[in-house]
Every structure is written in C-alpha cells, then in structure tokens.
C-alpha cells in the first residue's frame, strides 16, 4: 500500500488565485503599438487587459499584507487566448505576460517573501497553434506527429479539408452532437475546435508532457494545478507524472481539478489533493440560501449541486467530506468558493456580504488549505465567464474595507492556531439555521458556531465525543458569550448572520 505523504507547507498555506491578464499591469513592460482593452471596462471573451507577471510581483506586498503565502496562477504559457488554456508553447511564458524572465523575477520576489507559486498545467489538450498539431495540418499522414492527436483518416489523406476553423455546416454538426473527429477532422476537448485533444497513449506525447512538468519544477515553481485531469483517464499516466515531479522536488504540490469526490486519484500515488468544490458548494447553499442567484449559479459546472439547504444538511455535508480521504490528504485539500470557472461568491449569494463572512469563517476553520479568488477580498462581483474575470480595481476608494478587514482577521486567526491547520474536525450541533463544530488537537480545542438566521440565537448542546471543563471559553472572533456548564456547551445571544470562534488550551 502506498504511503500517503503530502507537502508539509500546504497545511500552512493561504492560497490566492490570480487570473494573470486581469490582476495588475506593470509599467516595466512596454508593448509598443499593441492595443489592450481599457482596464476598467467590462471583461470580454476575446479581449486582453494587459495584466502581466511583473505586475503580480509589484503587488506582492499587498498580498503579503492580507496574509497570503501561496499563489495559484491560471495558465501563463504562450497562448492566443486571454485565459491561456489554449497553449501553443509549453516552454515559454506568454510574451504579453513578460516571458520567461518575468516568471523568474516573480519566483525570486515571491520566494524571498515566503510565498509559493503553483502553475496551471493544461495537459489534456493543446491549441490549434501548437507546433506538432500544425505540422499534421500541413502534412497530413506524412507528418511524424500524426499520432500526437486523434485524426480522421479521410482528412489525413486529404480526401476532405480540415475544419480547424469550421464552416457553418460543421459548426451545426457539432452543435447537434456529432463527434468532432468526424465533424471537423480531429478529436477536440468537449468538441471545441480550438482545443485538439492530446493522444496520451502515444509514448512521445507522454514524454513531452512529463518533460514539461519537470522543466518548470526545475525552474523553481512549487507545484502544478492540473486542468481537467480526469479526462486523461489513465492512472499510470498520473502515477508517472507524480514520480517525475516528486523526484525533482518532493515538496511540490500536485492538485487536480476534480469537482466531485475523487478517491481514485487520492491514494498517495497520483495527486496530493483536489479542488474542494463540494465544501464551497455547501457554504453557498447554506449561507446564501435566502438570496441565491440561481440564474448565474446554474450556468456553472457546480450549478445543480447548489440549492437552499438548512444547517443540518450543511453540517452533514461538511462531516461527510471530511471522512472521504486519508487525513494527510484532507489537510492538503484546496478549499474554495469560486474561481475563473464559476460566478463569484458575492454574485452567487445575491450580494449578501454576511454570507461571504460566514463562508470565510468556515473556509478558514475547516480542514484544508483555503484559497481566495483575486478580488473577492475587496467585494469584486461578477457572473459566469467572462464576468467572473474582471480586472482588479486598484482604486482603493472602490474597495469594501469591511470585507477586507474580516478576511484578514480570519487569516490571522488560522495562522496563529495550528489546530485550525492540522487538528481533527468534530461536528457538534446543527439546527435549521445554526451550526457548531470543533477543531481539536492535544494542545487546544476551538469551537466554531455559525448563525445563518436573521435573529439572535442561543445554543445549549453536549459536546459529543469529547469534554471540556466548566467555565467561560476564550473568544477569538465574535461577540457572544460561550461557556461550558455541567458538561454542556452554551452560547448566549449569538448575533444574527454572524459567527464566533471560542476555545481553550488543554
């Protein structure tokens, strides 16, 4: 049986996800003659705002002031799309982002501050501009790269033209569900012509991807976030990927974009963790239940799993998720509410800022590494793509200072108390609108109580599998009085739409 080991630093990580084109422009890059969209105009599907890696480096002090110590960057390699999931050169950072020297600079500046950097690895598909794919388009079955992708033999033998830029009839065929292999001449990810799917059964393709992964680990990155890795349906591929990466840096973080339960990939021989969307979905469903913007939520991949739930269902979900995996993996999960693939949390909960605070309090007290999507900390809103990819507003007059202050408090509390990073999770109490759970280790017990109702609430409940001595509990966050009386945990007057964290040393 594989021994399960995850990078030690991830348990202490506070992640911040950045969409590079939209976070910050640097004056260091002078793109003479190039035209970018105005920074503060609404985002578009095809337009570029001009954010770059030097801009991120220049804002590291800001990120450090929040308490951030790890960055997850959306793709940065050369691509003809603003999100850069259409990779055409895996060995070069996009020149619009500053090229390889900009990444080197960012890594040096971040590491000097103790900030790790995880890059987005897009290995399931490439782009129409990818050299090996283009080579086949030009040469058909005469190309030595013919086995790198999945091609229609008739197109390879020039009996039919390629549909890389499909004409209307081909587009209509795709919309009706025809396989891209026959409709346009090659297998494309989700039948999108811009994204030819790699044939990872070809040894040369596997070696190419493994070499890319190794190259950037040697360059100094701290890990890979793997884009749609389940669509490379091959355990041996990811086992070898892990072996290659960990041989260079055993502390490199490998986290997969799997939106559901992911036991198959979390046995210690493939990924360290996955993106914990289920926990985020539970928070949105409970804290935002009275104001859910279901119109926007339904556009996202997690949409069907978000709907109004009560506190009992919420705690049941959190407890269930906690039991899915080995404890080492549980504490390395990447916990998040929103991302470039979803409406922003603020929009999903209909603008309810109390729902954001309650969600953050849960995120920073639940097992796993919390991840904040850029701009959420200052109240940035936005519906589904492209609205969730707005430019960061660097005019501080537009910031929600109250939200930012609350987030800083949650981050500081997590950093001060190791129990919130590695302690056990214990469900304690749940009603229609109030939930309580504990984090516990040998040194300390903290109890988190969340009131999602519009009224003050009292709580009296047994602690369950553990006990604490009678007396007042110290308050770390919040205002209500909490104490132990005759073995019962009690809270008096927990304010509406708020939470508290209380506890004691053993």
Where is 219: in which H helix or E strand?
helix 203-219
Active site residue 37: no
Q: Which of 21, 94, 170, 257 is catalytic?
A: 257
The reported pLDDT for the residue numbered 202 is 98
Whether residue 85 has a cis bond before it, omega within 30° of 0: no
The reported pLDDT for the residue numbered 303 is 74
Structure tokens at 330: 């549980």
How far apart (Å, rounded) are the C-alpha atoms in residues 229 and 242?
A: 13
Where is 274: in which H helix or E strand?
strand 273-276
Of 462, 460, 449, nearest in space to 494 by CA: 449
Place of tokens 């020297």: 101
Of 85, 340, 301, nearest in space to 188 by CA: 85
The reported pLDDT for the residue numbered 464 is 87
Q: HEC states along 427-463?
A: EEEECCCEEEEEEECCCEEEEEEEECCCCCEEEEEEC
The reported pLDDT for the residue numbered 33 is 85
**Structure confidence by residue, pLDDT tens digits, 232-275:** 999 999 999 999 999 999 999 999 999 999 999 999 999 999 99
The reported pLDDT for the residue numbered 304 is 84
Question: Rounded to two decimals, what is the model's pTM?
Answer: 0.97
Question: What are the residue ranges in the chain where pLDDT is below 50?
Answer: none
Q: Residues 249, 217: contact at Cβ < 8 Å? A: yes
Q: Which of 21, 227, 272, 433 is catalytic?
A: 227
The reported pLDDT for the residue numbered 489 is 97
How far apart (Å, rounded) are the C-alpha atoms in residues 216 and 222?
A: 9
Q: Could you tell me how many helices (H) and strands (E) the chain has, helices first? A: 18, 19
How far apart (Å, rounded) are the C-alpha atoms in residues 181 and 164?
A: 11
**Structure confidence by residue, pLDDT tens digits, 435-481:** 999 999 999 999 999 999 999 999 999 998 899 999 999 999 999 99
Q: Residues 396, 274: contact at Cβ < 8 Å? A: no
Q: At what angle do helices 401-416 and 353-363 cross, to 10 degrees?
A: 10
Active site residue 227: yes
Where is 485: in which H helix or E strand?
strand 481-485
């Amino acid at each position: 049986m594989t021994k399960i080991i995850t990078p030690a630093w991830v348990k202490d990580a506070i992640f911040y996800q950045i969409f590079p084109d939209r976070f910050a422009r640097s004056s260091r890059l002078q793109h003479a003659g190039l035209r970018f969209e105005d920074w503060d105009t609404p985002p578009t599907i095809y337009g570029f705002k001009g954010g770059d890696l030097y801009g991120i480096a220049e804002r590291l002090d800001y990120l450090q002031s929040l308490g951030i110590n790890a960055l997850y960057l959306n793709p940065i390699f050369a691509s003809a799309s603003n999100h850069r999931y259409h990779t055409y050169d895996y060995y070069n950072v996009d020149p619009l982002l500053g090229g390889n020297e900009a990444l080197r600079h960012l890594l040096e500046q971040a590491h000097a501050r103790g900030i790790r950097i995880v890059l987005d690895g897009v290995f399931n598909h490439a782009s129409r501009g990818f050299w090996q794919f283009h080579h086949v388009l030009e040469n058909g079955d005469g190309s030595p790269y013919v086995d790198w992708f999945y091609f229609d033999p008739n197109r390879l033998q020039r009996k039919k033209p390629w549909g890389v830029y499909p004409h209307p009839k081909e587009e209509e065929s795709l919309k009706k569900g025809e396989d891209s292999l026959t409709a346009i001449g090659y297998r494309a990810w989700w039948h999108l012509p811009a994204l030819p799917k790699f044939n990872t059964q070809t040894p040369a393709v596997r070696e190419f991807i493994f070499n890319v992964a190794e190259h950037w680990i040697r360059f100094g990155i701290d890990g890979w976030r793997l884009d749609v890795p389940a669509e490379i349906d091959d355990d041996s591929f990811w086992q070898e990927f892990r072996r290659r990466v960990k041989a260079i840096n055993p502390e490199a973080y490998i986290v997969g974009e799997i939106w559901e339960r992911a036991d198959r990939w979390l046995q210690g021989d493939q990924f360290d963790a996955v993106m914990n969307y289920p926990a985020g979905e539970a928070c949105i469903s409970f804290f935002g239940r009275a104001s859910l913007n279901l119109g926007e939520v339904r556009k996202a991949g997690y949409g069907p799993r978000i709907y109004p739930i009560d506190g009992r269902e919420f705690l049941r979900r959190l407890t269930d998720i906690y039991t899915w995996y080995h404890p080492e993996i549980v504490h390395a999960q990447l916990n998040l509410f929103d991302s470039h693939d979803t409406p922003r949390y603020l929009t999903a909960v209909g603008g309810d800022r109390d729902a954001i605070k309650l969600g953050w309090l849960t995120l920073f007290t639940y097992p796993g590494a919390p991840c904040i999507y850029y701009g959420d900390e200052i109240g940035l809103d936005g519906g589904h793509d492209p609205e969730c990819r707005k430019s960061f507003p660097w005019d501080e007059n537009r910031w929600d200072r109250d939200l930012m202050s609350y987030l800083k408090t949650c981050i500081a509390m997590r950093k001060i108390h190791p129990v919130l990073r590695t302690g056990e999770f214990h469900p304690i109490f749940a009603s229609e609108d109030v939930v309580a759970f504990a984090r516990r280790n040998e040194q300390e017990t903290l109890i988190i109580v969340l009131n999602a109702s519009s009224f003050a609430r009292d709580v009296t409940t047994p602690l369950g599998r553990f006990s604490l001595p009678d007396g007042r509990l110290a308050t770390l966050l919040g205002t209500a009085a909490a104490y132990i009386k005759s073995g019962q945990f009690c809270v008096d007057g927990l304010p509406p739409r708020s939470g508290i964290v209380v506890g004691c040393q053993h």
